[in-house]
Structure formats: C-alpha cells, structure tokens
Amino acid sequence: MKKFGLITLLGTALFFSFYAFREKPSFKPLRGYHCLRGEVISKNFNRVWFISDNHPYYFYTKRNLFPSDGIEVCGTFRGIRLSKVDRLKVDRNLLQRLRVEIHETLKWRALKSARTKVEKKLISALLFGENWFSRGESKKLSHLGIYHLIVISGMHYALLFTFFLIFPVRWKFRYWAALLFFAFFTFLLLFPKAPAYRAFFSFALFLLAKLLEQNYSSLKALLLAYSASLWLFPHWFTNIGFWLSYLASGSLILYYGSKKVPEESFFKNFFGKFLGLEATLVVSAAIFPLLAVYLHFFSLGSFLYAFPFTLVVEAFLITEILNMFTFWSFPPLLELQHKLADLFGFLFYNLPPVGVIEVSSFPQWAVFLLPALFLLGLIVIKKKRFLFAVLFFFAELLLLFLFHYGDHL
C-alpha cells in the first residue's frame, strides 16, 4: 500500500512536469506600441518581469509592484523589453491587497530600525524575501558560496520550527502555533517564492501529520509539494531557484532516509559530521550541473564559509522574528540586530572568494543526467553513501575539467 501511494505521487509529479513543460513561458518579441494584460512574476530593484499570454516581458519602473500583481501596461516594445511605459494599471485581489499592506507596513518599520545599508539588505532578504544586494554584491555572495543563505529557504523554516519546540505539547499547541505562523509568514509576509513555498508545503504536511497522529513521509511530501507548485505556478518550471530547492531537498531526503522533513534535523545536519560539510557535499553533488550550466561557475567557498555565515545569518533571522513580534521596539534586540548585521558586513566585505571555478563550457545534458544518476545512486546504495557522494562530486569536477580544458589538451 505504501509503495502504491509513492508510485501514485510519482506519477502525479510526472504528469505536472509534463503540464508545466507544455505551459512554460515562450519568448515572443514585439515591436512598436502595444497594450498587454499580464501578471508580475518577479521584481529586482526597478526591473519588473511579467507574463502575458504565456510570454515573458520586462520593464523598469520605480512604482511599487509585487509578484502576483495583475497589470495592464501600454507602451513601446523592443523585443521582450517594454522600453517606454505610457500607461500602467495595477489590479490586486483581496489576498494580494492584504499581503501588500502587511508586507509594506512591517517592512517600513523594520527598515526604519536599521542603521546601515547592509543591515537593510539583510532585513529585506531574510524577512521579506526581497534582494536589494547590487549585482556586484550578488556575484560576490555567489562566489563566496553563501548566496543560498540570504534567500528564504527550507533551512530558515527549519530554524524557525525549532523555536516552536519550546512550547508545550499539551493540546498539540506547538504544532498549531507553528502552522499558523508559517501560513502567515509564507502567504501574508512573502510573495510567491519557489523555495519558501516548497518548505511551507513540507512543513505544513509534517505538522498536519502530527496533529492528526498520522505517519509522515518526507519523500511523499516533497512529491506532493512539487506537483502543487507546478500546478499553481507552471512558469516555475524554468526557474533555476525552483530546481535548486527541490534537488537539494530530494538529495537530503534520500541521503539521510529520514521520516521527518529534511530541514527538521537542522541542528543534526548543521553540527553533524565535519560541521555540516557532509550535508553541504550531498547538496553540492546534486546541484553542481545546474550551477555550472546556468551560472557558469562553481564555488568551493561554501565548504569554507558556510558554517560561520550560517551562524550569523540564522542568529540574525531569529532576532528579526523576535523584533517583528515586538514591532522593533525592544532596545536589547535592536542592538543585537545591529551587531549581527555589522558582523555579517565585516565578514562579507573582507573575506575573499576561494575556489571559484569559472565554467565556459558544460553540456546541457548534464543538467538532467548527472542529478538523476546521483539521486538514483542514493536510492540504490544503502551503505557507504558518504563515500559515494564524495566520489560522485569529484567525478563531476573531473567532467568539468575535461569540458573546460579539453580543447587545450
């Protein structure tokens, strides 16, 4: 019966993969003056991406727009860029209006409490899911191997969940409190983000299983979250953050074989073998091809810098959650916020990138084949998985070397 349920969910995941592949956005360049209706899917600084009739376009504006905003825009197009905006009308449903009001109110208060630019950027990234780091700063974050730490992901949900373990189990209060907080955090404070939604689905199913006293399977939850995400947001099929999140989580589930959400064992993984480097290696082996093909580099810095930066970032996140509950009015917590932000800034601006491997040529097929082989290996191999992960990772590095320098040999 358990295998039947797993096979059913696997079939569902394949169905929605095919559905999302069919529905994925396709580029349709335009010329001249057009009026389009669409939905905003992302905004970085003043650059807004939106989808209209399943075609992506972008424009620049200082106006406050958010993912899931419906828009009607008129102007002059040059390819997929709307170069001159003549008219812009925004349409928000009830949930979106509520989300914008809560998001903007709390963000205004939070940013008002910050003393430095780096503090504002950390608050925006870790609490509100907005990337205010410049292009150069984002590149350095990636080269240091810590970009994933300033993106709201399952690891952050895991740390926040450990906070609720201090509550009593009576009436299953800790599970109700965690479920309500995660729902508020995910749907009313954040805008649609693939890693955050995946983490919410996994934790929500885990908490419901606890409340209903049912068995929980992290792999089944991951497949269900995957299917639901692609059903609701088929354009995520081409989002690298979506695939990085699911590959990382899937590799941890298959490696540790836990019946819990992979992030629930946060402290076990973080302070486990080699100060968390075991988990870092497993995730790196799974996502290496995507980074090589789409970002054109891979950083070994995560093995060196992940531990100290994780301590600072997670301490900052917990401090911000407590500050949010006090509406940034408790001086000791504010002072702690300032000091942690200063420490992050000192480390970030002074530590040099280490082990950055530039990738000029890496085959597209590796994106599909190598992660699939690694996950299959974790399923088949029951013993010495760490050795397998090490060997597989070094095989990927060797493959990178051959493709990168093959023409010069």
Residues 6+ apart with CB under 8 A from 391: none
Beta strands in 161-296 (DSSP E): none
Distance CA 363, CA 401 (A): 12
Mean pLDDT highest for which of 69-83, 162-176, 244-258?
69-83
Residue 408 has what pLDDT?
A: 47
Torsion of CA 256, 291, 203, 255, to 10 degrees: -10
| Top-confidence residue, 188 or 273 | 188
Q: What is the mean pLDDT of residues 329-339?
A: 96
| Top-confidence residue, 227 or 171 | 227
Give tens-digit pLDDT for 390-409.
Answer: 999 999 888 887 776 655 44
Written as one letter, the residue type at 340 is L
| Domain boundaries of the chain, sorted by first residue | 30-93, 100-401
- The superfamily CATH assigns to domain 30-93 is Nucleic acid-binding proteins (2.40.50.140)
Torsion of CA 396, 401, 403, 405, to 10 degrees: 180
Backbone angles phi, psi at 326, to 5 degrees: -100, 5
**3-state DSSP: the chain helix, strand, coil percent, rounded to 5?**
65, 15, 20
Which residue, chain included where needed, has tokens 């069919």?
22
Give tens-digit pLDDT for 135-193.
Answer: 889 889 988 988 888 888 887 888 888 888 777 777 788 899 999 999 999 999 999 98
Q: Nearest-CA neighbor of 13 among 160, 232, 230, 191?
A: 230
Residue 269 has what pLDDT?
A: 52
Give tens-digit pLDDT for 119-149.
Answer: 999 999 999 989 888 888 988 998 898 888 8
- With 0-12 CB in 10 A as exposed, 13-18 as middle and 19+ as buried, what is 213? exposed
**Band of pLDDT at residue 358, cut at 50, 70 and 90:** confident
Give tens-digit pLDDT for 90-104.
Answer: 999 999 999 999 999
Q: Cα 312 from chain centroid?
A: 18
Distance CA 39, CA 41 (A): 6
Residue 275 has what pLDDT?
A: 52
Residue 1 pLDDT > 60, yes or no?
Answer: no
Residue 166 has what pLDDT?
A: 78
**Band of pLDDT at residue 304, cut at 50, 70 and 90:** confident
Residue 268 pLDDT > 80, yes or no?
Answer: no
Concatenated DSSP letters for 327-378?
Answer: TS--HHHHHHHHHHHHHHHHHHHHSPP-SEEE-S---THHHHHHHHHHHHHH
- Interhelix angle 277-290/302-325, nearest 10 degrees: 100
Q: Cα 260 from chain centroid?
A: 20
Residue 258 has what pLDDT?
A: 61
**Tokens matching residue 43:** 């905004």
Percent of the chain at pLDDT exceeding 90: 54
**Band of pLDDT at residue 34, cut at 50, 70 and 90:** very high
Q: What is the mean pLDDT of residues 265-284?
A: 66
Residue 406 has what pLDDT?
A: 59
Backbone angles phi, psi at 145, to 5 degrees: 80, 25
Residue 4 pLDDT > 80, yes or no?
Answer: no
Distance CA 238, CA 283 (A): 20
Residue 184 has what pLDDT?
A: 95
Q: What is the Cβ-side half-sphere exposure of residue 249, based on CA atoms within 13 angstroms?
A: 34
**Residue 322 CA: distances (Å) to CA of 312, 316, 334, 373:** 16, 10, 10, 43
Query: What is the average pLDDT score of the chain?
Result: 88
Distance CA 338, CA 107 (A): 16
